[in-house]
Structure 1
């Protein structure tokens, strides 16, 4: 008998502002983030009003985790202290490993039109928080895509998409947290059963339309985050069509201490990060 993952909780994002005043929705992040381990935060940004995004994210530091920016529409330029310069365009991904420290900026490369996408924060284990920083641009053409027999299009950003005999590795593979990051485009009347490792924390974010989950009595509307149990099968369908982010990762089970752009395991490590940034040693 098939056992389905159960819905542990539903969450609605809150309006927020970050960078130099970019308006966004904080889907999750902040107090209680241990529930989403190894994921720390998910922001959704989307506006056709340039006043909401034009100021961008001027130079700022990070330490102790990874950021994954997935651009649905728009153009954003990345620059960092390592000399990396990248243009994130519609359909592309930027995967940045802050680790010991990185100082970077993300600035719009447009003055009008829609800017829309997501930024996901993924924790690093304590043993790798002080590793060298890294950065990778992944253009749309390098993101694997699969279309299932049901007509569901799957963008495989990280990890593995697996459904029955269909298997597709993602553009990024990471140790320790072993993240799976999928963008699912469900046409009306379709369904999908992506296979996930037991023990992985699983989250679904519906960003268009609505879905139904096997074993859950109510449909899940757009702008809702679903936190699922850590074992069992995920089966979702959409009578009217939907677009959904699926995020799954292996929990680290380590203490999480965050102060703004720094995420470490102890308060002492946070204070060290602050001293390093103040003394220009964060990236040394």
Structure 2
């Protein structure tokens, strides 16, 4: 499934998206790349934020205590140090190249606070929906340091970090049973160290997008070569065997894909459920202090 066939038919770009500048937490400056407007099209993914600054005023306040219920957060730190603490008793230090994969499930209150007073802080946070049967599961937490993220390099100078899923026979750091986590997420960080082209097989039914965070790339499909500029998200059509990305040396791109849940999405801020009644209950439970037990 994850090894590209010899005759490769790459996906075309359906739409390109420019992120929206905003602030979250205690004034952290970020770009919201995947917004609520694209949740249905990119099911099971709910949000993608890109934060990055060398000015402490843009990140110093961090993300003090706040709740989540009904989904997962995946924080990928490119540069900097962030301390995680939550009401389930988990604590960890997220730093250069590391990943924090948190399953909020039935409810957790957590904080993500910088452990630096200067320098660059850069990374991403992805929100991944949970299926209805798992929304009230026990909260979970994985703190994956950079040395524990599998990597491979191609013969023409492309380095691929496999955070979740599989690529070219390499299994990612996060592997879960499909029965419990049917989203079957793929999360790759692809570094073009030379001018080269990378192919990744994708099941046709999986929704997929890429985000360029260094340089620029081209998406290659039959008869087409479509450029994607820096800081653009490209939503890929559900067609062909996968995606082919061509780029110059120095370019870096995230490739993210997953099986849609095809369930109703009811969201109120940090709560993501299936119905309005479930949302009301989520807020009531938080106000009653039940996420701290």
The two structures share one fold, judged by TM-score above 0.5: yes
TM-superposed CA distance for 1:3, in Å, is 2.8
Q: How much is the aligned-residue C-alpha RMSD, in angstroms?
A: 1.2
TM-superposed CA distance for 1:240, in Å, is 4.6
Distance, in Å, in 2 between the alignment partners of 1:283 and 1:66 is 18
TM-superposed CA distance for 1:194, in Å, is 1.2
Residue of 6, 10, 14 corresponding to 1:4: 10
Residue of 202, 206, 211 corresponding to 1:200: 206
Cα distance, 1:15–1:55 mapped onto 2, change above 3 Å: same
Higher mean C-alpha deviation, range 232-241 or range 78-87: 232-241
TM-superposed CA distance for 1:33, in Å, is 1.4
1:226 aligns with 2:228: no
Q: Deviations over 1:195-251 (max 9, x none)?
A: 122211111001111111113443111100010012313111113541000001000
Runs of 4+ in 1 over 2 A off after TM superposition: 1-4, 215-218
Residue of 105, 111, 117 corresponding to 1:99: 105
1:60 aligns with 2:62: no
TM-superposed CA distance for 1:83, in Å, is 1.4
1:264 aligns with 2:273: yes
Cα distance, 1:31–1:283 mapped onto 2, change above 3 Å: farther
Partner of 1:87: 93
Distance, in Å, in 2 between the alignment partners of 1:255 and 1:283 is 27
TM-superposed CA distance for 1:2, in Å, is 4.1
Distance, in Å, in 1 between the alignment partners of 2:248 and 2:121 is 28
Partner of 1:30: 36
Cα distance, 1:187–1:112 mapped onto 2, change above 3 Å: same
Q: Which runs of 5+ in 1 are unaligned?
A: none
Q: Which runs of 5+ in 2 are unaligned?
A: 1-6
Task: Describe the SS at the equivalent of 2:215.
Answer: strand
1:243 aligns with 2:258: no
Partner of 1:274: 283
Which structure's relative contact order is higher, taking Cα pairs within 8 Å and 6+ residues apart? 2
Residue of 173, 188, 196 corresponding to 2:175: 173
TM-superposed CA distance for 1:283, in Å, is 5.0
Distance, in Å, in 1 between the alignment partners of 2:165 and 2:57 is 36
Partner of 1:132: 138
Distance, in Å, in 2 between the alignment partners of 1:255 and 1:274 is 18
Distance, in Å, in 1 between the alignment partners of 2:37 and 2:197 is 34
Distance, in Å, in 1 between the alignment partners of 2:239 and 2:38 is 21
Q: Deviations over 1:105-148 (max 9, x none)?
A: 00000000000000000000000000000011000110000001
Q: Deviations over 1:149-206 (max 9, x none)?
A: 12100000000012xxxx1000002321000000000134211101122211111001
Residue of 118, 125, 145 corresponding to 2:151: 145
TM-score, length of structure 2 as denominator length: 0.93
Is the Cα contact below 8 Å between 1:145 and 1:156 reproduced in 2?
A: yes
TM-score, length of structure 1 as denominator length: 0.96
Distance, in Å, in 2 between the alignment partners of 1:283 and 1:110 is 28
TM-superposed CA distance for 1:282, in Å, is 3.4
